[in-house]
Amino acid sequence: MVIINITTIQSRLDLCSATLWSLINQNHKPDKIILWISKDAYLLDTGVLSLPQSVLKLMKIEKNLEIRYVTNIGPYRKIIPALREFSEEDILIYADDDVIYSPLWLHELMITFDKYMGEYPVASRVRKINKNFFGAVKGYIRFPLIEYESIIEDNFIITGVGGCVLKKKHIKHEMIYDDSFIDVAPRTDDLWLSKILQLSNTKIVVCPAALPHLNEISHDSYALNTLNNNEHKNSNVIMKGIRKFKSLFLAELGFATCNNDIMLRSIDDYFHGIK
């Protein structure tokens, strides 16, 4: 079976229904679309006790759309429960809940997956971990997106927004059942999943052909804090420019400039400690 998996939190269920609608309308029809949610609260999720009409209507329209309740492990619900439940033969896809996927998105991913006979996971949006002139790993914001189809052996980060196709065989059994991410990296699922793929000696294929089929839904989290005072607008722009330049410079030298840098080091430390 071909199974698309996503997860969301209570406050984003209506938003997620737009993503579900786009997945239902893929040209390449999956056998199942599963929304993994939880009744218990965790992190930003207050728990889903009832489904909104937007989701219930979709369930009436699409018989292959399933809602599964699982223990709340945050963003990892988008793939970990599926890896544990389904068989070696099943093709699993994970995606994000705040993207409208154009009808050809899954088609492009599956063409590439089949092209390589399912030997490698396929992802459309992948960053390359690289080093600076001194041999130190740069900061996350200096990791470039890979823009060409290629097989990548290591030092990659799959970003879930672009989707990823994989099978159970691509990740070592013990890593599928390692719940340490709850303590080590509870929010940074993309970093953890990329790490366990690499530790499983799994190469991946980058499929940039699917990138044009992503339409991210923007979140204006700071709408209430928008400054309308034109007197300060120019100074704000200048300060933002200075901060951005400073962050890029520090990242080039290998300093942590965002939470992903901190989490990457925590994940590396964890796996180094259990070797």
Question: What 8-state DSSP symbol labels residue 217?
Answer: P
In angstroms, the Cα distances linking 211 to 27, 87, 228 are 16, 28, 35
CATH code assigned to 2-216: 3.90.550.10
Averaged pLDDT, groups of 10, the chain, 275 residues long: 97 94 97 98 95 94 96 98 97 97 98 97 97 84 94 96 97 97 97 98 98 82 34 61 72 77 95 77
CA distance 225 to 57: 35
The answer to whether the beta carbons of residues 124 and 216 sit under 8 Å apart is no
What's the confidence (pLDDT) of residue 241?
77
Residue whose entry in the numeric block shows the structure tokens 């120019």: 234
Per domain, the residue ranges of the chain are: 2-216
Extract the runs of DSSP E, i.e. beta strands, from the chain.
Answer: 2-7, 32-37, 65-69, 91-94, 99-101, 122-123, 126-128, 150-152, 156-158, 164-166, 204-206, 214-216
Helical (H) or strand (E) element with 191: helix 189-199
- Identify the bridge partners of residue 156 per DSSP, sorted by sequence position: 128
Q: What is the pTM of this model?
A: 0.89
What's the confidence (pLDDT) of residue 255?
64
What's the confidence (pLDDT) of residue 240?
74
